[in-house]
Amino acid sequence: MPAAAAPIFVATGSNDVFYETVTLPPFGVLIPQSEVFVAQARIGNRATNGDYEIGLHRYNAANRSTFPTSASPLGSASEIQFAWANGAPTAFTLTRTGTTVRFQMGGYDESFTDALVDDVDAISFRVAAGTGNTTQISALRFIAGGNTTNLRSFTASNGSRDLALFAEVTGDFTISGDLTFSWTGTPGGSNLSMQLKALEGFVAPVPEPAAAALFGLGLLGLAGVCRRRVAAT
């Protein structure tokens, strides 16, 4: 059997609403309906008590229109607290092995097993930051089948978003990287955040008829050139 094609970024965005309602639907994925799990990191209250900072959220089987992040993450309160250091990177890994997903970051280590985990075929990366703050993912890597692919970095600052859909994901994989929060003042909650949204149902969009026709004409032209070259020889 030929090797599966390596996953690629197929869409990007800088606005949550446009990205989720216009950019993603042609690829067969909807948010939150297609979300199987979400690995999330947020600034919280930058302490080891109260608001949580890190978590793995699983889908709501009773209502797929509910955002996984609307419910508490897996794990006890003592496992999901983290005191971020301003401007310092924190390593994370997200691993899919068969029907099991595992998220590790800053002492947080949680996993769950579900048949839908094996159906995940795309990852939507999202970083966000409020005014005066910056969220950045660096040293991002995709590891599968013994191969490591370096991925682009993600940066959001001063109220911006950096969004991208990484698709055609198959088999076991690990995504690893470094997350850095940099802030001024006392931001809290999800004012700085990273989300890795695992999605099912990805399909490559069908070309528009006009684009398909142009592609066909291009192939015909190429065939004509080849015939002329053969005749000349």
What does the pLDDT look like over 6-63, one tens digit per residue? 899 999 999 999 999 999 999 999 999 999 999 999 999 988 888 899 999 999 999 9
- DSSP code, position 135: E
Q: Which domain holds residue 193?
A: 8-202
The whole-number pLDDT of residue 6 equals 85
Average pLDDT of the chain? 89
* pLDDT-derived band at 233, boundaries 50, 70, 90: very low
What does the longest C-alpha to C-alpha distance in the chain come to? 79
**78 & 98 share domain:** yes
- Pick from 159, 138, 179: nearest CA to 16: 159
183/226 same-domain check = no
- pLDDT digits over 151-199, tens only? 999 999 999 999 999 999 999 999 999 999 999 999 999 999 999 999 9
Q: Which helix (H) or strand (E) holds 35?
A: strand 35-44
Is residue 129 in some structural domain?
Answer: yes
Across-strand partners of 167? 8, 122
What pTM was computed for the model?
0.86
> How many structural domains is the chain composed of?
2
